[in-house]
Structure 1
Amino acid sequence: MKSTLCIASFYLFLSFLVVSCAEEEEAVPSCVQVEVMGTDCESGWYVLRITENEMPQRSKEYVGQLHGGYVTTDNLPLELRTPGRMVEVSLELNGQYSPLCTAVHMLYPAVKVKQVCSGNAGGT
C-alpha cells in the first residue's frame, strides 16, 4: 500500500511538472486603429496617430501602455505608408532603438507593428 501511494505521488508530481513547464502562447497586443501621419525625422520612420476608439478585448490580448497620441515606427508595411490612411494594427513598445532626431523635432515613443489586423485595414 505504501509503495502504491509513493508511485501515485511521484506521477502526480511529474504531471504538475509537465503542466508548469508547458510552453504558453505569447500574448498579442490588441488591435488599435491608427492613422498614418507621414514620415518622421529619420528616413524609414513613420508617425502614427492612435485614435481614442475603445477596442473590444479578446483573450490572450492586451492594450499595453499605448492609449492614444502619437508614436513612430520603422516596420510599417510598405502598402500602408500612405499619409492619411486609417488601419488597425497591434503595436508594442520598441525599447531597443528609436529614430535619431535633431532637437527641433518632436520625439514620439518608438513602437513595433506586431501584426496588421484584418478588420478595417482599408484606407482612404
Structure 2
Amino acid sequence: MKSVLSLVVLYLLLALLLVSCADQEVAVPACLQVEVVGPDCAEGWYVLQIVDADGSGEQRSNQYIGQLQSGFVTTDNLPEDLRHSGKVAYLALERNSEYGPRCMAIYMMFPPVRVKQVCSGG
C-alpha cells in the first residue's frame, strides 16, 4: 500500500513540475533588419550586417539573452532566396556558440549566428 501511495505522490509531483514548466513563456529573438554582405570565407557561410535603425541597441523581445545589436555576423543557415549580396530582410537571429566557419586565413572573424525565423516587414 505504501509503494502505491509513493507512486501516486511521485506522479503528482511530476505532473506539477510539467505544468509549471509549460506555463513559462519562451523568449524569442527580436526581428532585426539585416543586409546580406556576401559569402564568408567558408562555403555555405554568409556575412550579414545587422542594421540597428534607431541606434539604441536596446534589449528587445522579452529581454532575450544574447540579443544582437548593430554589426556584422556570419551564418550557415541563410534561406536560399536571401543568399544575394545587397539583399535586405528582417530576421530573428540567435547566437551560435556551437560552431563557426573554418577559414584557412583569418582576415576578419564575425560572430556566428543561426537564423531562427524570417520575419515579414519591420
Question: Aligned partner of 2:97: which letter?
Answer: G
Aligned partner of 1:117 in structure 2 is: 119
Q: Secondary structure at the match of 2:22?
A: coil
Task: Could you tell me which runs of 5 or more consecutive residues in structure 2 were left unpaired when the two chains were aligned.
Answer: 1-12
**Bigger radius of gyration among the two:** 1
Q: Could you list the runs of 5+ residues in structure 1 that have no partner in the other structure?
A: 1-13
Identity %: 56
Residue of structure 1 equivalent to 2:86:
84
TM-score normalised by L of structure 1: 0.72
Q: Is the 8 A contact 1:97 1:110 kept in 2?
A: yes
SS in 2 for 1:64: coil
The count of corresponding residues between Structure 1 and Structure 2 is: 108
Aligned partner of 1:67 in structure 2 is 69
Q: CA RMSD in A?
A: 2.9
TM-score norm. by structure 2 comes to 0.73
Displacement after TM superposition at 1:45 (Å) = 0.0
CA deviations 1:19-68 (Å, max 9, x no partner) are: 53435342110000000000000000000001121399876463734111
The answer as to whether partners of 2:60 and 2:67 remain within 8 angstroms in 1 is no
Q: What is the SS of the residue equivalent to 2:41?
A: coil
- Matching residue of 1:45: 45
